[in-house]
A and B are shown apart, each in its own frame.
Chain A
Amino acid sequence: MKLLVCISKAPDTTSKVSFAENNTKFNEAGVQYIINPYDEWYALVRALELKETLGGTVTTITVGKADNEPTIRKALAIGADDAVRIDAEASDALAVAKQIADYVKNNSYDIIFCGKETIDYNGSQVGGMIAELLDLPYVSLASKLDVNGNTATLERDIQGGKEVVETNMPFVISCAKGMAEARIPNMRGIMAARTKPLQVISGSEVSKLTEIVAYSLLPEKAGCKFIDAENPGELFQLLHNEAKVI
């Protein structure tokens, strides 16, 4: 089985979010990058588990510049066999999806994995776009995936529950919580990652259709109003008369 996992970098979850250049750029000063948790914990690890039980290869693919290589090496340390980096600006979701779809057209895969969303731009877009560009079935927000021959059984999150679905390979999936448990790379993995193949290919010409022109922060809270723990019932009066939410 040939498995492809889309990997993106994302700011560490404890990063302070602030903006530079007149609020037009994310301020990267002091920010550590990690593999986007959904890509790592769920997509990559489930792909590795399938490879371990059913055989095959796990390749990671990333659209972006050389500053992505530390996170790509980490994915290799966790256990991916090889990696592809498409050397192009990840300018918007459709641009990224087109680069990946173009690559897949020339190198077929059985399952293309994405994370549910990146924790910085929270789009949940790339998987569905790749699926459309390749005219493949798409299961979004999947929390379970089992493969039997050419058929896969999956669970996906829906409003108030889960849906059990079936599809045939090849297909695209975006992975949510429940899919797998995070793995920590061991020393052997880290050593091996240094020499695993990381192929850099140049991207195709794609234009972007969206652009972030400015950022803003959440409005500041007015401050916390404290209520006496001995007499907490006042809370409901405040929520009713002042905040008007109940």
Chain B
Amino acid sequence: MSVLVYTEPHHGKISKNATEAASYASKLAALLGTTATALVCGEASDTETLGQVGISKILQVASEGISQFDTQKLSKAVQEAVRKEMATVIVFSHDFSGKAIAPRVAAKLQAGLVAGAVSLPDTSNGFIVKKAVFSGKAFAHVSVTSEVKVISLLPNSFSVEKTGGTASIESFLPEIGKAGVVVKEIRKESTKLSLTEADLVVSAGRGMKGPENWGNIEELATLMGAATACSRPVADIGWRPHHEHVGQTGLAIRPNLYIAVGISGAIQHLAGVNGSKVIVVINTDAEAPFFKAADYGIVGDAFQVLPKLIEAYKQFKASNN
């Protein structure tokens, strides 16, 4: 018995999502009285991170073409690692890659899958995992009855704990077969921080009146090291790129801090952001529904408040350095 975690390096580094999944896997292994192994599909220069979060063994996949993403190849690699490690729980991040591979692995292994888990399982009576449902409006507690189980962990829902260990590294050469899907090109959306991995997000809506007014939003975000997001109508009318659209029909995000400027807080918008740890709302309308979901609020005109905030942040940063 063991716990296996799938990791895929991002730009040659173990990603934040993968580190969270690895930390979760090692905590889970401790809970089950076993150890956790990480499968690393691609080249990473910082695999020691995995040992530091409690992984005891790394299987470094050396098969030709493993870093060319294909769900058929990658699910074969995972299956072979499961057999080798006699894994009974397989952990993924519920990110773009995990969503693509975890279902394949679960179907092949006849394993119950909990997609979007937010905490470690309760094993006091069976195996019950809490997951986010209704686009972040609620949680479901899912009992998994199969012998082998697959869990994909919602990004930003589990705090990484550095336990300070080291992992042994073993080269691993699974038979991965041919790719059914061939990667032709990778297009980076921008060099900026990716929204789903950002700890801080500054977001704006129709209250900004037009695309030419986003300068203050971008300036505040850049100063804070935050990613930018927007409401759906703003993306639909082309004021902002589609990949910034958050909400029920866009990206669901769970940053530590979500600052919403000129967004009313419609139920479909809240659905994608109410997993955020702290929400700040800036709106001219004191009755805007978003204030009900907020931790901090400023009733005021964004065009006046934002320049003041930018100045205040510069001072804050200067005095906290």
* Residues in A lying within 8 Å of B, measured CB to CB: 11, 13-14, 17, 19, 37-38, 41, 92-94, 97, 117, 119-129, 131-133, 135-141, 153, 155-168, 171, 177-178, 209-218, 221-222, 224-233, 235-240, 243, 245-246
CB contact between A159 and one of B10, B105, B108, B114 (< 8 Å): that residue? B10
Given A218-B138, A235-B298, A240-B316, A13:B185 Cβ within 8 A: no
- Residues in chain A near residue B146, CB distance under 8 A: 209-210
CB–CB B133/A215 < 8 A? yes
A128–B268 alpha-carbon span in the complex (Å):
26
Beyond A139-B181, A160-B190, A211-B142, 8 additional pairs, beta carbon < 8 A = A13-B268, A122-B135, A125-B113, A141-B99, A160-B188, A165-B183, A218-B139, A246-B257
- Residues in chain A near residue B292, CB distance under 8 A: 221, 224
Residue of A nearest to B130 (CB): A216
Residue of A nearest to B299 (CB): A229
CB contact between B294 and one of A93, A157, A221 (< 8 Å): that residue? A221
CB–CB A158/B186 < 8 A? yes
Residue of A nearest to B267 (CB): A14
CB–CB B277/A163 < 8 A? no
CB–CB A128/B189 < 8 A? no
The stretch from B40-48, B54-62, B206-214, B248-256 touching chain A is B248-256
CB contact between B278 and one of A119, A136, A243 (< 8 Å): that residue? A243
Given A120-B134, A140-B71, A164-B187, A94:B113 Cβ within 8 A: yes
Q: Tell me if B102 is interfacial: C-beta within 8 Å of chain A.
A: yes
- Residues in chain B near residue A239, CB distance under 8 A: 257, 278, 280, 296
CB contact between B115 and one of A37, A38, A124, A245 (< 8 Å): that residue? A124
The stretch from B23-31, B162-170, B306-314 touching chain A is B306-314
Given A17-B138, A211-B143, A132:B299 Cβ within 8 A: no
Residue of A nearest to B189 (CB): A161
CB–CB A177/B145 < 8 A? no
CB–CB A126/B103 < 8 A? yes
- Residues in chain B near residue A155, CB distance under 8 A: 187
A149 to chain B, nearest CB (A): 16
CB contact between A163 and one of B69, B137, B304 (< 8 Å): that residue? B69
CB–CB B107/A97 < 8 A? yes
- Residues in chain A near residue B142, CB distance under 8 A: 210-213
CB contact between A141 and one of B100, B256, B281, B294 (< 8 Å): that residue? B100
CB–CB A177/B103 < 8 A? no
A47–B105 alpha-carbon span in the complex (Å):
27
Q: Tell me if B19 is interfacial: C-beta within 8 Å of chain A.
A: no
A49–B280 alpha-carbon span in the complex (Å):
42
How many B residues have CB within 8 A of the partner chain?
102
B124 to chain A, nearest CB (A): 13
CB–CB B138/A163 < 8 A? no
CB contact between B297 and one of A119, A153, A158, A224 (< 8 Å): that residue? A224
CB–CB A233/B312 < 8 A? yes
Interface residue SS majority, chain A: mixed
Q: Tell me if B262 is interfacial: C-beta within 8 Å of chain A.
A: no
CB contact between A224 and one of B100, B105, B250, B291 (< 8 Å): that residue? B291
CB–CB B295/A224 < 8 A? yes
CB–CB A209/B112 < 8 A? yes
- Residues in chain B near residue A177, CB distance under 8 A: 242, 245, 249-250
- Residues in chain A near residue B180, CB distance under 8 A: 136-138, 167-168, 171
Given A122-B133, A221-B294, A233:B106 Cβ within 8 A: no
Interface residues of B in 252-295 (CB under 8 A from A): 252, 256-257, 267-268, 271, 274-275, 277-278, 280-281, 291-295
Given A209-B112, A246-B200, A236:B181 Cβ within 8 A: no
User: Could you list 10 examples of A-B contacts with CB < 8 Å?
Assistant: A138-B72, A138-B100, A141-B96, A213-B142, A218-B274, A221-B294, A226-B299, A233-B316, A235-B298, A239-B280
CB contact between B295 and one of A38, A221, A232 (< 8 Å): that residue? A221
CB–CB B99/A227 < 8 A? no
A177–B267 alpha-carbon span in the complex (Å):
19
CB contact between B71 and one of A138, A164, A225 (< 8 Å): that residue? A138
Most chain B CB within a 10 A radius of its CB, from A14, A97, A125, A225: A125
B191 to chain A, nearest CB (A): 9
- Residues in chain A near residue B37, CB distance under 8 A: none
Given A17-B138, A209-B111, A211-B145, A240:B296 Cβ within 8 A: no
A13–B187 alpha-carbon span in the complex (Å):
32
A223 to chain B, nearest CB (A): 8
Residue of B nearest to A131 (CB): B104
CB–CB B250/A159 < 8 A? no
A121–B181 alpha-carbon span in the complex (Å):
27
Interface residues of B in 80-100 (CB under 8 A from A): 94-97, 99-100
Q: Tell me if B321 is interfacial: C-beta within 8 Å of chain A.
A: no
Residue of A nearest to B277 (CB): A245
CB–CB A128/B71 < 8 A? yes
- Residues in chain B near residue A119, CB distance under 8 A: 134-135, 248-249, 271
